[in-house]
Amino acid sequence: MKYVLKKLVTMIITVVLVTFFVFLAFNLISGDPATSALGTEATPERLAAYRTQMGLDDPVVVQYLRWGGNFLTGDMGTSYSYRMSVSSMISEKIPVTLIMAVMSFLIMIVVAIPIGIYTAEHKDGVLDRIITVINQVVMAIPPFFSGILITLLFGQIFKLFTPGKYISYQDDFGGFLGYMFFPALAIALPKITMAVKLLRTSVLKEVKNDYVRTAYSKGNSSRQVLYGHVLKNAFLPVITFLGMCLTDMIAGSIIVEQVFSVPGLGRILLTSISNRDYPVVMAIIVIIACLVLLVNMLVDVLYGFIDPRITPDD
Amino acid sequence: MNNIVTVNNLTVKFSNRKSAFSKKVTKTVLDDVCFEVREGEILGLVGESGSGKSTIAKAILKLVPYEGEIHHESDNPQMIFQDPYSALNPAKKVGWLFEEALYLKGEKDSLVRKAKALEMIQMVGLSEEYLERFPRELSGGQRQRVCIGLALMQNPKFLIADEAVSALDVTIQAQILELLKELHDKMGLSILFISHDLKVVYNLCQRVMILKSGKIVESGEVKEVYTNPQHEYTKQLLSSVF
């Protein structure tokens, strides 16, 4: 309990620091939200009036505290460029990005874990070597490029989905999942290769331990040794990696959303940054930071369950 | 006296690939090794690092492919390893490890399993509370006791101790050796004791074999070999210690 509390306090401090520095960064870089909201033709009087209305003339700290206070009461502010409330702008986008990240995470687990175990079990077999070579190649392909390849292969040649024709989850949830599978796959691919490699190495390293031989000499079959003794220990480094992947997938969806024209958080984040639309950017960053921290905390807790060596006091 | 293990013309070759596409390179680790372990004796096997001591142990346990003949009188030889830290699954409690051996033999009654585990842990000189501990909570000597206990769960006639005390400090070494000796006397175990420590072998074993580069260069009664070494290598080894 004390452990969770401690983690929670750390989380809050982290979120405050992250948001403050992002806020600060926006004030340091060039660009004026008033100009981007009203256009370059706007008169100086109108710009000044807009600035006063939005509170842009106040010192940074005051602006930050005002934003923070509002945020805590559930008011994420009003977008400078769209003149609508931030919460209504992003509330529809969050599920899109989140579902995409979770999907690619599931794809990664479903694909990587069996392959990793198989290649470790059949080390130096024909299939192991083929997979190792393919792995190296795929690992070198960045998600946006594999996204293009997937569009070409599954969209144009096999016609499994229509590229660019995004299906909203409010209209047709099944169709939405069908469409989202492909960007999720693009995000998952490089992670799959890393997870396979990591799991394979981890299992092979674990197998070298003497307790594995002891387990054999007790009369365990090789399956029993692998599933009963080795995997639990071999999974430890992999779980850390998987946790990192999930956070990476949330953040990494930004570019892939562009490739597949998915209207998620990534897209709106990009436009808002170029428009100097602080309230929107800040809200998205808070959400992403919270998600990342939350996932990290889950991984820590999971670690405690799977590995008795780590007690929550450590 | 009967032989518990007879080894004839044992040859082990390892082949390795430097990369996935290069040719295999073959290296002979054991070359035409012949010896026997007699019932109820402790046989020492001495040699420098890389001489193939552990490979003999692995071949006897059929953990490496070999040529030649290994004849067993005992059906379940057990092994105790050098590193007591990697020899126990870190994710399982000591009691679980003990009970697993029985469970795999078909003992479904958990009360019986627990009773036997308790009996064994006391036999190797630890108290009941250690059954509830994880290996990380044990010292090196305690772990090695657990390893010995786990091996004895199989009721073996033949035990291989591969550098079983080398990783322990001197006082603990003495205690573990004492335990091995005691169990040997009590249960009539035959032990193949692999070590690079000539003094330990002198104190524990009845017979000794000297291994160099995969060949046995000398073997015989410990006292005889130590007082009257025949081979140049043995003389060299002994002069470096005594």
Q: What is the CATH number of the domain that holds A290?
A: 1.10.3720.10
**Quick one: B222 and B130 in the same domain?**
no
The C-alpha atoms of residue A148 and residue A154 are separated, in whole angstroms, by 10
**Quick one: B58 and B172 in the same domain?**
yes
The CA distance from A244 to the nearest CA of chain B, in Å, is 23
**Is residue B51 in a domain?**
yes
**Quick one: A85 and A111 in the same domain?**
no
The C-alpha atoms of residue B71 and residue B62 are separated, in whole angstroms, by 11
**Is residue A313 in a domain?**
no
Looking at per-residue pLDDT, the higher value among B217 and B21 belongs to B217
The C-alpha atoms of residue A250 and residue A109 are separated, in whole angstroms, by 16
**Is residue B139 in a domain?**
yes
pLDDT digits 0-9 by tens, B169-191 = 888 889 999 999 998 998 888 99
Q: Do B20 and A233 touch (CB under 8 A)?
A: no
Q: How confident is the model at residue B98 (pLDDT cuts 50, 70, 90)?
A: very high
**Quick one: B163 and B241 in the same domain?**
yes
**Is residue A314 in a domain?**
no
**Is residue B124 in a domain?**
yes
The CA distance from A233 to the nearest CA of chain B, in Å, is 7
Measuring CA to CA, how many Å separate B141 from each of A75, B80, B110?
Answer: 63, 13, 28
**Is residue A312 in a domain?**
no
Phi, psi of B197 (to 5 degrees): -100, 105
SS3 B218: strand
**Quick one: A278 and A259 in the same domain?**
yes
Q: Please provide the size of chain A in residues.
A: 314
Contacts of A219 in chain B (CB under 8 A): 101, 104-105
Contacts of B153 in chain A (CB under 8 A): 218
Query: Looking at chain B, which runs of residues are DSSP E strands?
Result: 3-17, 24-38, 42-47, 67-72, 78-80, 158-162, 190-195, 207-212, 215-221
**Quick one: B126 and B222 in the same domain?**
no
**Quick one: A82 and A102 in the same domain?**
no
Domain that holds residue A21: 2-90
**Is residue A222 in a domain?**
yes
Interface list for A 213-252 with B (CB within 8 A): 213-215, 217-220, 224, 229, 232-233
What the block records as the tokens of A119 is 């290649």
- Backbone torsion region of residue B41, taken as left when φ is above 0, otherwise alpha when ψ lies between -120 and 50, otherwise beta: beta
Per-residue pLDDT for chain A (314 aa), expressed as one digit of tens each? 677 788 788 888 988 898 888 888 877 776 677 777 777 777 888 888 887 877 777 788 888 888 888 888 878 888 877 888 888 888 888 888 889 999 999 999 999 999 999 999 998 899 999 999 999 999 999 888 999 999 999 988 888 888 878 888 888 888 899 999 999 999 999 999 999 999 999 999 999 888 898 888 888 888 889 988 899 889 888 888 888 888 888 877 888 888 888 888 888 888 888 887 878 888 888 888 888 888 888 887 777 777 655 554 44
**Quick one: B53 and B132 in the same domain?**
no
**Quick one: A55 and A171 in the same domain?**
no
**Quick one: A148 and A67 in the same domain?**
no
The CA distance from A255 to the nearest CA of chain B, in Å, is 36
**Is residue B234 in a domain?**
yes
Domain count, chain A: 2
Domain that holds residue B129: 83-155
Interface list for B 2-61 with A (CB within 8 A): 17, 20, 61
**Quick one: A76 and A108 in the same domain?**
no
**Quick one: A86 and A122 in the same domain?**
no
**Quick one: A247 and A285 in the same domain?**
yes
What ipTM score was computed for the predicted complex, to two decimals? 0.73
**Is residue A137 in a domain?**
yes
Q: Which of A53, A72, A90 is the last residue of a domain?
A: A90
Q: Do A309 and B136 touch (CB under 8 A)?
A: yes
Domain count, chain B: 2
